[in-house]
Structures are given as structure tokens and as C-alpha cells.
Structure 1
Amino acid sequence: MTETMERTMSSGLWEAEQVFKDRIRAHPFIVSCRAGTMRIETLRHFLAQHAKYSGHFTRYLTALMSNLQTQGDCMALAENLLEEFGLDESGSVSHAELYRTMLRNLGVDAEAEKTLPETQNLIDMMYMQCRHTDHARGLGALCLGAEAIVPELYSGILDGFMKAGVSPDHLMFFSLHIGCDDRHAETMRQIMCRLAETDNARSIAMISAGEAVVNARLRLLDALEAR
């Protein structure tokens, strides 16, 4: 990232990202996971609801890509898409298949569980932002509201399962994404910084969209904790 981009990030986007990460870390659901006090049944419910949300992920990404204005930006995000499908140079299995394998290993039948209203709201919110004709909103939603906060969210969930006695071998989806989603976030950050550098109003749009998705995600964690 260039010095100019770093200055841009520090002027608003960077602070917003840190606030969103802090809110995820401080949520009682994640705090309980890290403390080892989260019931494994509740963690399984999280997996089922998250499956319903993340099952749309490639469509969120393609919706955003359809509104990008340059071929270079589309190509940059296409690398993220190929990795999701397992079609990148690593030749690994798709992320969706990794998640399905994890569900089987942990005895979770996501299709049998009813979609919570909060889960549907998160799905709808992400689609609304990614389909917005102003691609700044889609970038803010997918980066600030999803990819950038993955390390905080997934590492907490990972802690919760491991402290409940689940083998790390059954949790490869989370350990993989803690690293790769940070790379995906960096790709989007670079595009966002360029937009913000030329028009500060775009920063407001990106932060607003990211906050809307983070709020929807926290409401889902509230609902799961209440169960």
C-alpha cells in the first residue's frame, strides 16, 4: 500500500475498520467463546446459520463485481472468486466444500434448521449493498463488514470449538479463512483507498455500508446467544 493510501486509510476507513473489529471482539458471544463457556450446541447453531449466509458469498462478490468501473478492479476481485471456488493455482477444494465437510464432521444439518430472521436480514443487507449502483457501498459492505472482520469472528469461533474439545482437524475452514480473508480484504482496501483519495464522500458511503452489515451481523450473534 502506498503512503498516500495509508494516509487515506488513517483518515477514516482505517479507524472505522478498527471500530468494527473491536465491536466483534467485544460481543458477549465471542467473549464467551474465547473464555470457553459457550455451549457447543450454540456453536453448532452458529454453523448452521452461518452456512445460510455464507452460501451466498460468491453471489455477493459477483454482484459487487458487476458494478465495478474498471477491468483491473474486476480482475483483482476475480482472484478472490477463483480461490472461493477452488480454481486458483493452489488447486485446493472449494471453500463451500470445506464448510460442508466441517458441518458433516460436527454433525450439523444446516438445511434442517430454520433460517433465523436475523440471518435473513444479514443476507438481505449484504445483497442490498453489493447490488447498489454505487460500488463504493458494495466494497464497504464486503470489506469492512465481512472480510476485514473475519480474523476476529472466526478466531473466536475457533477458540470456542477447541475449548469444547473439538479437534482442530475438523475446523480447517476457520483456520484457513483467518489468513486468506485478510488477503481478500487487502485487495478491496486498495480499491477503496483509491476511491477515497479522489472523493472523500465515497469514504462515508463505504463506512456506512460496512456499519450496516456489521450491525446486522451483531444482531445475529445476539439472537444466537439468546438461544
Structure 2
Amino acid sequence: MPATLSTTPTAFVTDLVSRFALSEEDFDRAYAEHDAYAELLDNVTRLGVAASAGDADAQFAQQYLLAKIYGLHTQLGAEPTAEASTVLHAVTRQLERDTARDEDAWIDESIYASIPDDPERFVPWLKNMTREHRVFKHPYYHSFLRERATPEDFRSFVLQESSVDARFDDLLAMMQVGSDGETKMEIAKNFWDEMGNGDPAMVHTTLFGRIIAHFGITDDELKESLSTEALLGGNLPVLICRYRNLFGEAVGHLAVAEWLAPDRFSQVLHGWERLGLPADGITYHRLHIGIDAHHASAWFAHVVKPMAAEPQTRRAMVRGALWRLNSSCRYLDRILAQNPA
């Protein structure tokens, strides 16, 4: 019998994930009875309620489960999986709705009223909002990684960052579906840079893999050692890049992520060199200091600014930006709290 939340969130999720190796037909057949299907969705709903109420175990289980589902959609495998299951789709949508609801709860709704009506003022306003956020020049980067982190601290940093950085090219590939004109071209330029401009050795996922290899991080660690905040940081961009009705959120999310990256990676580079770690292990971050500065500038000019003509789209971009800023801040606050001065 399937585990339920009457045991623990972890047991429920572990049992459900173990069934992902079934074919879509077999997975759906396992929940073909109305009571079994209703109980599954009830458990997922209850998991979301507990996570929203602050239950740390439920929050981890929720994001772990969503990450495992997204893995079915973004990773190639040799065997059939439950990827296309209609039952699993219902589970996924409940998890996504709950995740979006909880992320919206971190946003002060009054900020939407301050969005300028003039599209020409939107980009400066968005940048200023980002500058005023706690995550801007966060002490984890500017104090800890730069001045105090040990090689083991850098290993932990790379492990957690793998939730997003290791597959950024796939996010761009998903994001450009349905776009056109200047916007599609800008996404394509970003994607081609991520692909090393055609040089396999310089593909950014390959470069990030060198850092993982340097620290001897195993596949099992990459799959099973991420924190709740790191899992969320990986899940949010997949969520907003895979749905066309969240394209505005994806644009805002990526805009602030790219804009913050050069300064953050400069601190990573300083700390890396302070420790005398191998130069080839920092190529990924060294490249992104310049590349992301260019990406951010072009993104604001050729994607964000043209899209700012519509009030609804301005709001969506702000929502996506705040999802990134707020979730990143919680992620960095947690790591910093685990590494007191």
C-alpha cells in the first residue's frame, strides 16, 4: 500500500518517488481506483498545507518531490518512466500551485502599486528595487565566501548551487518556446553563450562539471544532498520557464539573476584565489563575470523594456524578480546561519 502523511512527509514522498520508475500506464493503473487517486491528491494537498504553515519537514518533502518530478521532464533516461502520467500531472500542478502561493506570500503586495506607469521608467525602478533588497550584495558572498570560506565551504557552496547553475542552458531552451522577434534573438544569444559559442570544451555545463569533479562531488550527493532552499531555487525557474503563461515571471526572474551574478561571482573568484584553489576550477565563474554583465544589460534593453509596455506584464516581471530575490535571500541566509563568524 502507498505510504501516506499519517507516517511522515518524507516516507510519503519517498514511496511516491519510488513509483516514478513505472511506465505512465502502470503508474496511472496504481491509482486507478477513485479512493486511491483521491487519497493521493489529498495527501499532496495536506503536504502543501503543512509546508505553508512552516513545517520544515513538509517544506523539504514538497520541494524534493517537485524536483524529482521535474527531473523526469528534464533528464534523459533509457527506461520508461511515469513522466506522461495523467495522475502525476495532477500531483505536479498541485505542488506548483502550492509553491507559487507560498512564494507570493513573501511579497509585500504594496510594491505592485509602486510600479511606474511609464514603461521608460520601469527598468530603473526594477534595478532600484533590487538594490534595496537585502539579497543585494549579500554578506554570504561579500564577507563569508570572499574572506572566510574554507575549501570545504566552497565544496558545499558548489553542491547547493548545482540545483540551478548546472542546467541553465536547458532553462533558456524552454523559455524561448513561443517567443519571437527581438526577445527570441536575445534568448538565443544567451543560449549560444551558455553553449560555449559552439566549443564543446567551453559549454558552461561542462565548465561547471569541472568544479564538481574538482571537489569529488558524486552523483548521489547532487541528487540527495540539497537543502529545501536550494531545491526551491532550482524548482522556481523550471516552473516559470515551462509554462507560457508565466513568461513574464521568467523574464523578471532571469533579469535580476543575471544582473546579480557578476558581483556575486567576483566574490567567489576572490575567495577561490585566496585559498589557492586550481585555476581551471574557477573558469565557469570567471567567464560569467563578463558574460552575465553583458547578458543583463542586453536583457534589460531588448526584453524587459519592450515588454514593460503592458501593465499586466510589468506586474508579472516584478513578481518573477521578487520570487528570485526573496528565495535567494532565504537560501543565502540559511547557509550563512550555518557558518557563523
Which TM class, normalised by the smaller chain length?
0.7 to 0.9
Q: Deviations over 1:1-29 (max 9, x none)?
A: xxx9764422x222124335x62413345
Q: Where in structure 2 are the equivalents of 1:97-108 lying within 5 Å? A: 97-105=206-214, 107-108=215-216
Residues 1:67 and 1:44: Cα distance change in structure 2 (over 3 Å): same
Output the CA distance in 1 between the equivalents of 2:137 and 2:280.
24
Which TM-score applies when normalising by structure 1?
Answer: 0.83
Aligned residue for 1:50, secondary structure, equals helix
Output the CA distance in 1 between the equivalents of 2:211 and 2:319.
33
Output the CA distance in 2 between the equivalents of 1:42 and 1:56.
22
- Unaligned 5+ runs, structure 1: none
Equivalent AA in structure 1 for residue 258 of structure 2: E
Residues 1:150 and 1:173: Cα distance change in structure 2 (over 3 Å): same
User: Is residue 2:271 matched to residue 1:160?
Assistant: yes
Look up the match of 1:136: 248
Structure 1 residue corresponding to 2:282, chosen from 160, 164, 171: 171
Output the CA distance in 2 between the equivalents of 1:124 and 1:170.
26
Output the CA distance in 2 between the equivalents of 1:220 and 1:63.
24
Residues 1:131 and 1:27: Cα distance change in structure 2 (over 3 Å): farther
Aligned residue for 2:277, secondary structure, equals coil
Residues 1:29 and 1:76: Cα distance change in structure 2 (over 3 Å): closer
Look up the match of 1:58: 169
Q: Deviations over 1:173-218 (max 9, x none)?
A: 111101101222223212111111x224422321221111122222
User: Is residue 2:206 matched to residue 1:93?
Assistant: no
Contact 1:143/1:188 (8 A) holds in 2: yes
Residues 1:23 and 1:222: Cα distance change in structure 2 (over 3 Å): closer
Output the CA distance in 2 between the equivalents of 1:91 and 1:99.
13
Structure 1 residue corresponding to 2:131, chosen from 18, 37, 43: 18
Structure 1 outlier segments of 4+, above 6 Å: none
Which TM-score applies when normalising by structure 2?
Answer: 0.57
Q: Where in structure 2 are the equivalents of 1:77-226 lying within 5 Å? A: 77-88=187-198, 93-105=202-214, 107-113=215-221, 114-132=225-243, 133-144=245-256, 146-190=257-301, 191-196=303-308, 198-225=309-336, 226=338
Output the CA distance in 2 between the equivalents of 1:110 and 1:117.
19
Structure number with larger C-alpha Rg: 2
Residues 1:91 and 1:101: Cα distance change in structure 2 (over 3 Å): closer
Q: Quick one: higher RCO (CA 8 Å, sep 6+), 1 or 2?
A: 1
Output the CA distance in 1 between the equivalents of 2:131 and 2:281.
30
Contact 1:131/1:138 (8 A) holds in 2: no
Output the CA distance in 2 between the equivalents of 1:29 and 1:148.
15
Equivalent AA in structure 2 for residue 13 of structure 1: L
